[in-house]
């Protein structure tokens, strides 16, 4: 296993008050596997990624029984080790590629600067050759012309390809993609995901992809994790979660999408009543109970555990009610 997390808790101190954000997160990820994390804004799906990158603000508190990435215990790393770790084992791409690139420097300079930090002792010409190769690899047409461009001269899709090229330069064993295609057009979105998958297969890299779009997650990911208010409420193979959802939140989410089989056009869509419980609030029972259509007494009093729901070990759901 390339990533192994057990009972991860993340919270933030706000004026000396501890506000939990991620509760009891446990999962494992193998090399070459794609994990899709889906959830609504504010459910904490990005926070885990920042923790894996060591990019949480200083008021954050991370505790875990186990938090190992590529055999390194993340909780024990110091600042310098984090820097090496980020460069070599794990890389991240973001929603807005334009923000991830320095607007005042050409693509070539940014790539060369990064490569020269990564692999020392080569000539400028060699670095430029490597940069060119990287851009070719991520499918940028006429890459030698693009090298001289500034980020603003690129389209969103091209900029995202450059960001991917930079992320790949260090040959990470795990790539975290936080809403990588949200800012892009539909056709470009498909191109970028194709590219990511090509690279994943070539280098046997594990991918964590985070999105609010269930369509993207279910088509691209092997395994899906549904987050709700700081907890994983359901996880399983793409097939399991999309065809046979177990947790009422997953069901509600899938049913609220337009284009369901029996829906007449322009008829009302199913919605989930109520609002998301604030992520920092502590409750006695299930965090979804206020919105759940078939809540029972036990749901109000006892927090449900993640339990296995099928033959497959990885199909889990956090719900008291079976079947």
What does the DSSP assignment read for 155-205?
Answer: -HHHHHHHHHHHHHHT--SEEEEESTTTTS-HHHHHHHHHHHHHHHHHHT-
Our CB check for other proteins shows the closer of 87 and 156 to be: 156
Cβ 31 to other proteins shortest distance, Å: 10
How many residues comprise the chain? 323
Residues between 180 and 219 with contacts to other proteins, criterion CB under 8 A: 185-191, 193-194, 197, 201, 212-219
Question: Nearest Cα to 31, choosing from 63, 4, 57, 58?
Answer: 4
Question: Nearest Cα to 192, choosing from 138, 112, 121, 260?
Answer: 138
Q: Tell me whether strands 66-69 and 60-63 are parallel, antiparallel or unpaired.
A: unpaired
At residue 90, φ and ψ (nearest 5 deg) are -135, 140
Q: Tell me whether strands 72-73 and 174-178 are parallel, antiparallel or unpaired.
A: unpaired
220 binds other proteins (CB under 8 A): yes
Our CB check for other proteins shows the closer of 256 and 301 to be: 256
Cβ 256 to other proteins shortest distance, Å: 4
Which H or E run contains 2?
Answer: none
**1, 20, 40, 72: which one binds other proteins (CB under 8 A):** 40
47 binds other proteins (CB under 8 A): yes
62 binds other proteins (CB under 8 A): no
Our CB check for other proteins shows the closer of 126 and 280 to be: 280
- For residues 73 and 6, the answer to whether their CB atoms sit within 8 Å is no
Residues between 242 and 281 with contacts to other proteins, criterion CB under 8 A: 242-243, 252-254, 256-259, 263, 265-272, 275-276, 278-280
Our CB check for other proteins shows the closer of 154 and 168 to be: 154
Our CB check for other proteins shows the closer of 57 and 124 to be: 57
At residue 29, φ and ψ (nearest 5 deg) are -140, 130
Q: How many residues bind other proteins (CB under 8 A)?
A: 68
- For residues 161 and 192, the answer to whether their CB atoms sit within 8 Å is yes
**In the 3-class helix/strand/coil scheme, how is 91-150 assigned residue by residue?**
EEECCCHHHHCCCCCCHHHHHHHHHHHHCCCCCHHHHHHHHHHHHHHCCCCCHHHHCCCC
Among the residue ranges 83-91, 94-102, 235-243, 298-306, the one whose residues contact other proteins (CB under 8 A): 235-243
Contacts for 72 with CB less than 8 Å, ≥ 6 apart: 81, 85, 89
**81, 99, 129, 155: which one binds other proteins (CB under 8 A):** 155
44 binds other proteins (CB under 8 A): yes
Cβ 88 to other proteins shortest distance, Å: 23
* Interacting residues toward other proteins by CB under 8 A: 12, 21, 30, 32-34, 40-42, 44, 46-47, 57, 155-158, 185-191, 193-194, 197, 201, 212-222, 237-239, 241-243, 252-254, 256-259, 263, 265-272, 275-276, 278-280, 311, 314
């Amino acid at each position: 296993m390339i990533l192994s997390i057990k009972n991860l808790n993340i919270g933030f101190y706000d004026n000396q008050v501890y506000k939990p954000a991620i509760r009891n997160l446990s999962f494992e990820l193998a090399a070459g596997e794609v994990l899709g994390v889906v959830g609504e804004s504010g459910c904490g799906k990005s926070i885990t990624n920042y923790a894996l990158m060591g990019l949480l603000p200083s008021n954050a508190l991370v505790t875990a029984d186990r938090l190992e990435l590529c055999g390194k215990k993340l909780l024990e790393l110091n600042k310098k080790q984090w820097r090496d770790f980020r460069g070599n084992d794990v890389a991240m791409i973001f929603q807005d590629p334009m923000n991830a690139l320095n607007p005042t420097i050409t693509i070539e300079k940014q790539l060369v600067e990064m490569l020269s930090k990564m692999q020392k002792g080569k000539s400028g010409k060699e670095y430029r050759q490597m940069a060119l190769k990287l851009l070719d690899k991520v499918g940028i047409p006429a890459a030698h012309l693009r090298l001289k461009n500034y980020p603003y001269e690129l389209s969103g899709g091209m900029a995202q390809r450059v960001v991917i090229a930079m992320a790949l330069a260090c040959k990470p064993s795990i790539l975290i993609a936080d809403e990588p295609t949200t800012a892009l057009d539909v056709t470009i979105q498909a191109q970028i995901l194709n590219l990511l998958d090509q690279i994943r297969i070539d280098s046997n890299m594990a991918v964590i992809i985070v999105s609010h779009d269930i369509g993207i997650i279910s088509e691209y990911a092997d395994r899906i994790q549904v987050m709700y208010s700081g907890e994983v409420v359901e996880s399983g193979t793409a097939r399991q979660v999309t065809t046979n959802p177990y947790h009422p939140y997953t069901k509600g989410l899938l049913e609220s999408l337009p284009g369901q089989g029996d829906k007449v056009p322009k008829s009302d869509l199913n919605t989930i009543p109520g609002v998301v419980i604030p992520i920092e609030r502590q409750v006695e029972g299930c965090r979804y109970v206020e919105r759940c259509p078939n809540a029972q007494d036990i749901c109000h009093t006892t927090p449900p555990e993640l339990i296995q729901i099928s033959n497959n070990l990885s199909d889990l759901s956090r719900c008291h009610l079976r079947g």
